[in-house]
Structure 1
């Protein structure tokens, strides 16, 4: 337990730095770090790590190096030519405590139509105690919390007495290969905390996620000459209905980890594209689905059941018997993760949370996916997910509550102090 006087000094240092932290968050939000465009944002993170005295490792992801690892997810439509991770390493003068990885991601999802936003998505705007902008919520605020929690310790005259790694990764939103690349680079610690926005709660379990794309191709004809009732766009609908039935089946047969969660497995049709001309019958229709799976389930087994469902539904259509669907797996092929119970790292976070919030740490189970799975599944390291209160992630007017970000940064600073121990900063 950190002395109460030291706790107060640390929290005061967070307060003193908070305006600077918010300015840094605004600078990150101004960079549209969409998939394939993350490099300028990573450069800014690397610059701040250098300024704060870290050893900085910035490297390009290598698909060939990752593709044989069981945690790898296939990549489509983008290259790794400008895909960089950044890790800042703090080394103590004398190790006394336990090592730690603090991780966040800078990649963001597309903003959608700008006119649907109250203010432009990449122009951060403060309104009513919230900071709005794409990535302000998910999850550039967490990147700033990681950096400024440790910097607050230094401003208070202390530093972690154990190795600490500040990891800023990419591709969290589509594969997780950024986090995987840090493992293959050799980074490992006694504990991991990822500052995904989870309403100042601990996420104790998360589903796995699979992305699948279905493509139908036929021979088009002039719309005025058709005598057939077949239409390749409409032919997708029975396949979608079959997938909906599979979704209901999986939710009716819950795995133990999500037995107490209402409808945890979600099949979401996220994209559809078909046709070439208003007066031609469409030759092609493609749709994408995001599918959740239970942590206990095997990804390959789920793929087989999904593909069988697609092909059986298509086989009911005589035309699709001649032109069977193409099934592609791109992006997430990711298992879920359950945090082990009663770990020391969770206890340290709970203590820090209670010191700041004057209330016990609560938890929930997530029907979305995070990078924490990599460290739990492939390094046997308990990986915590805890972060600020946000709203409208992946939607219009995404935002983070600034006072929540301040509280989370204080919790992180006290957590680092407890987990890593402290030594004098010189």
Structure 2
């Protein structure tokens, strides 16, 4: 591993960009902006939240009409929690034998450092691209803040995107995730003392507990989840990867009242060829049919809230899915570069974990997830990456970009 490559990763790791708590990436983004400008990029910057911003660098190509390439990475890292469990300081790059330790070396500052090392090398060699090269340095990925969505709004429309997030050096597409809230809300509030009139023959009080009615909704979600597992599939996705998790439940006000509200927080995983708008519409349609068959729920309709802008700000997130553009000439270019360095074919597939890559695809950009680092190391205590792996990844990236600079493809 080249010393300059090591130093770039060291710089990135030493900035504590944990998310949560987030609101801490601007100092590192200042460094990245300066780096991009020093290497010929025009830089746009947009505030996402206080002390968190999106940086987009554009290296202008010789031909404005030539195909454009996006290179995407996030610089926020997973929360460390308690450092006492770490052998080495999480915010210092520590070299031990063949390994490098530090928060983010695998997810995904290792990929970002490799990109910067290669961009600097290409610039030093005087290689200019035919079409625009767009670098998106985003934040908020760890907490569903869709930094890449905003970066795409700031960027020219590209013909291919490479996301350098953790993928074990495989080319991956992904399933998607959306969170949501399902609410059962009573139109009336009933005292606990009147429960017998509500539940026993002859009581004459029309009412229900929102918590008890939510139990029916949870059962219905399980039935729909099982139906999906039987009837839906996608190549390279594990059977039943499309799930509906009833993750958090909130309800009732105190024991003196029948619960007049109950809210269920769900996490929905869907397949690479599914759109989250259609997935939530399917869930709502099924649950509304269940509710219509209930004598109380039909008059107290279910309420739905889907997605959100941040797990920190409004407890919601969306990660769109995406398929692999296997027939794109740029994919073949990456395959060739990978095989030249690794002397093995590029492995392709799908992952149930999620990245910001889905937002690029949501903007109509063919997208490939291809990065260094193991998924078992991402978010782990004593997170590590092998030096040789980063060195090889940078060589693949160099080979791929050198060829793309010369002959970009649509």
Instruction: Give the corresponding residue for 2:312.
Output: none
Instruction: Give the corresponding residue for 1:131.
Output: 101
C-alpha distance after superposition, 1:173-216 (max 9, x if no partner): 5657432333333423343211011110001x322332211234
| Structure 1: 5+ residue stretches without partners | 1-13, 62-79
C-alpha distance after superposition, 1:93-120 (max 9, x if no partner): 7899854221112344555x53795369
2:69–2:159 contact (8 Å) kept in structure 1: yes
Mapping of 1:16-415 within 5 angstroms?
16-28=3-15, 30-34=16-20, 37=23, 39-40=25-26, 41-60=28-47, 80=49, 84-91=53-60, 99-108=68-77, 110=79, 113-114=81-82, 117-118=85-86, 123-124=91-92, 126=94, 129-133=99-103, 135-155=104-124, 157-162=125-130, 163-173=132-142, 177-203=146-172, 205-216=173-184, 219=189, 236-255=214-233, 257-258=234-235, 261-274=238-251, 285-311=262-288, 324-331=301-308, 332=317, 335-379=320-364, 381-392=365-376, 395-397=379-381, 399-403=383-387, 404-415=389-400
1:106–1:139 contact (8 Å) kept in structure 2: yes
Query: If the length of structure 1 is used for normalisation, what is the TM-score?
Result: 0.74
1:339–1:376 contact (8 Å) kept in structure 2: no
* The 10-residue stretch of structure 1 (190-199 or 210-219) with the greater mean CA deviation from structure 2: 210-219
Q: Tell me the secondary structure at the aligned position of residue 338 of structure 1.
A: coil
Q: Tell me the secondary structure at the aligned position of residue 368 of structure 2.
A: strand
1:258–1:294 contact (8 Å) kept in structure 2: no
C-alpha distance after superposition, 1:41-70 (max 9, x if no partner): 433422332344432211235xxxxxxxxx
Structure 1 residue 254: Cα displacement: 2.0
Query: If the length of structure 2 is used for normalisation, what is the TM-score?
Result: 0.76
Two-structure CA RMSD over aligned residues (Å): 3.9
| Structure 2: 5+ residue stretches without partners | 200-207, 309-316
Instruction: Give the corresponding residue for 1:77.
Output: none
Structure 1 residue 241: Cα displacement: 3.0
Q: Cα–Cα, structure 1 residues 344 and 35, in superposed 2: closer, same or farther, change >3 Å? A: farther
| Structure 1 Cα separation of the partners of residues 3 and 116 of structure 2 | 14
Q: Tell me the secondary structure at the aligned position of residue 240 of structure 2.
A: coil
User: How many residues were matched structurally?
Assistant: 383
1:268–1:290 contact (8 Å) kept in structure 2: yes
Structure label with greater radius of gyration: 2
